[in-house]
Structure 1
Amino acid sequence: MDDLQTARPGLVRRIVAFPLTLLIIEFFGVAIAASAASFGLLKIVTQGTPGYFLGGLAVAVFAILIYLAARRWIEWRGNDELPLEAFGREVPLGLLIGAALFTLMTGIVALLGGFSVERVNGLGALWAMLAMAVTSGTIEELLFRGILLRHIEAMLGTWAALAITSALFGLAHLSNPGASLFAAFAIAMEAGILLGAAYLWKRRLWIPIGIHAAWNFTQGWVFSVPVSGGKAPEGLLVTTREGPDWLTGGAFGLEASVIAMLVATAAGLFLLVRVVRQGGIRPPMWVKR
């Protein structure tokens, strides 16, 4: 009996190990560390250069290391979400899925008369777009899938976690230039469900990181479309968008198109079916597993 009492974690340890506590500590820890690293990058590296992309890659790696350190030293868990042995097969798969989905969606919009390619522009803002894709894809997936979805799932179950994180992901884009309520709803549906399902599929982060990075890079550099609002970047192709906002996405970009929402959400639901069939849906913490 004495040995069992000695082995039982203390009150402080049990409080820290509770999913809500872990969520708060890890979310703000990774967010603050990544923001500080990104701020430092802007101070020491010239934007639009190969060094800027390498700096962005370093920021992404730094965020991953902070995340893994939190899992190791706060959660006492091993690295089962970002194993190096899975990197070579899962990141390319994610990149392929993200690029293919955005290209498919853009092609449908073009067939409906809302998008056209004028000419090839050249390299354009290649290095800046690569840096943006790597940092946004990595950091946002660590925060929203690795931390928020995982810990909310531990408390409320898979379905509630997917719904809450999808809504939060959409709301997080409301402050972007050109955002609207429909744009936030579209992001919640297409990205929240797709990326959440991609994480639940393998219970690892490499595939959603790849999807997220390729989606942003394809729209920003390949098709020169605004990435979640703002000014259209100078990409590989000179393109134009014409037509109603439901088709073109308006000022927010093609992400806010109904076509994008349907294509990406359908892909997310396809992955969710796989998750259900492989028994990947978990109940709330008050239900015995």
Structure 2
Amino acid sequence: MRLVWQLLAVAAVGIIGSQVAMAFEGNAWATLVVGLLASALTLLAYWWVVRLTERRTVTEVVGKGSVRGLLIGTVAGFALFAMVIVNIFFLGHYQVNGLGTVLGAIGLFGFMAAAAVTEEVLFRGVLFRIMEGWWGTWIALVVPSLLFALAHVPNPGATVVGIGAVFIAGTMFSAAYAATRSLWLPIGLHFGWNYAASAVFSTEVSGAGTPTGLLDTTITGPAMLTGGSFGPEASPYSIAFCLLTTLVFLWLAHRRGRLVPLRKDAKRVESGSTLPQ
């Protein structure tokens, strides 16, 4: 039952936050404030419901190194997407036409923060963490990532390759959680990637369509290289970089003794209290 209560609590806050943010669409400063507030309330709701249903210290959101994990994740996510754009640029398919809008980047900061926090808390904090306790790390890498990918199917520009790319990104975020036992690194990765894509390089994000960011840009060329209507996330460069990063995180999780076999140590993983930090 704790899975149900945790999903309901986090989803309720996330949905309300997204609806309020959409009501302020076009007002960059209001979107920034609402997005950051929604992020904080989502984390608070998660902390409260886990404390209530599991009666433990919620170390994955209040543990040591939270700020460090968030910063490292944000820089890494930004760098990963920048490398994707660099490859597309050198193929001649990405053009910078000039400057975009600073206000657009400001509003997107709040919007993308709320999206990253809500999705990571739901898919990694609740689904991956609890399913890992039931089935072990390897199965838990697949199921929440599949649900994460399916959640993007309704996006207007969704493609089969794009949904597959989201699945791989989901495994990367889950592996980041497994390696650190903290939500801050995957939140940072998710935010850094999305913010770079939307607010800086002004590209499509998961086929959902985003306003112009700091740069006014154009992407042309075959969808198999650029990602097409889904955005550069569906490019082979994105898929390759995310796969490599996933392997690095899994290697770190293995080195730190944090990969969980089927059912073994399930209780310890859910509490997070006896895993190496």
Give the TM-score taking structure 2 as reference length: 0.91
Q: Residues of 1 paired with 2:65 and 2:172: CA distance?
A: 20
Other-structure match for 1:184: 163
Q: Secondary structure at the match of 1:261?
A: helix
**8 Å CA contact retained: 1:110, 1:116:** yes
Other-structure match for 2:7: 27
| Structure 2 residue 177 is the aligned partner of structure 1 residue 199 | yes
Closer, same or farther: CA 186–273 of 1 in aligned 2, 3 Å: same
Q: Secondary structure at the match of 2:98?
A: strand
Q: Residues of 2 paired with 1:178 and 1:46: CA distance?
A: 20
Amino acid at match of 1:209: I
**8 Å CA contact retained: 1:124, 1:234:** no
CA deviation map 1:27-54 (0-9, x unaligned): 12210122123324544x5643323211
Which segment is superposed worse, 138-147 or 80-89? 80-89
* Match runs of 1:88-167 below 5 Å: 88-167=67-146
Q: Secondary structure at the match of 1:82?
A: helix
CA deviation map 1:176-206 (0-9, x unaligned): 11101111111111x1121111111110001
> Over aligned residue pairs, what C-alpha RMSD do you find?
1.8
CA deviation map 1:152-199 (0-9, x unaligned): 11111100000112211111111111101111111111x112111111
Other-structure match for 1:225: 203
| Structure 2 residue 19 is the aligned partner of structure 1 residue 39 | yes
Q: Secondary structure at the match of 2:163?
A: helix
CA deviation map 1:3-50 (0-9, x unaligned): xxxxxxxxxxxxxxxxxx22222112210122123324544x564332
Give me the identity figure in percent.
33
Other-structure match for 2:57: 78
Other-structure match for 1:169: 148
Amino acid at match of 1:33: V
Which segment is superposed worse, 230-239 or 244-253? 230-239
Instruction: Give, in angstroms, the shift of residue 121 of structure 1.
Output: 2.4
Other-structure match for 2:46: 67
Which segment is superposed worse, 277-286 or 266-275? 277-286
Unaligned residue ranges in structure 1 (runs of 5+): 1-20
Instruction: Give, in angstroms, the shift of residue 254 of structure 1.
Output: 0.7
| Greater Cα radius of gyration, structure 1 or 2 | 1
Q: Residues of 2 paired with 1:225 and 1:287: CA distance?
A: 43
Give the TM-score taking structure 1 as reference length: 0.87
Q: Residues of 1 paired with 2:60 and 2:234: CA distance?
A: 30
Other-structure match for 2:232: 254
| Structure 2 residue 28 is the aligned partner of structure 1 residue 49 | yes
Q: Residues of 2 paired with 1:119 and 1:33: CA distance?
A: 38
**8 Å CA contact retained: 2:21, 2:111:** no
Amino acid at match of 2:125: G
Q: Which runs of 4+ in 1 moved over 3 A?
A: 40-43, 286-289
**8 Å CA contact retained: 1:246, 1:258:** yes
Closer, same or farther: CA 88–114 of 1 in aligned 2, 3 Å: same
Amino acid at match of 1:196: S
**8 Å CA contact retained: 1:94, 1:207:** yes
Other-structure match for 1:14: none
Instruction: Give, in angstroms, the shift of residue 80 of structure 1.
Output: 0.4
Amino acid at match of 2:167: A
Other-structure match for 2:271: none
Amino acid at match of 1:116: Q
Q: Secondary structure at the match of 1:74?
A: helix
Instruction: Give, in angstroms, the shift of residue 71 of structure 1.
Output: 1.1
Q: Secondary structure at the match of 1:81?
A: helix
Which segment is superposed worse, 258-267 or 93-102? 258-267
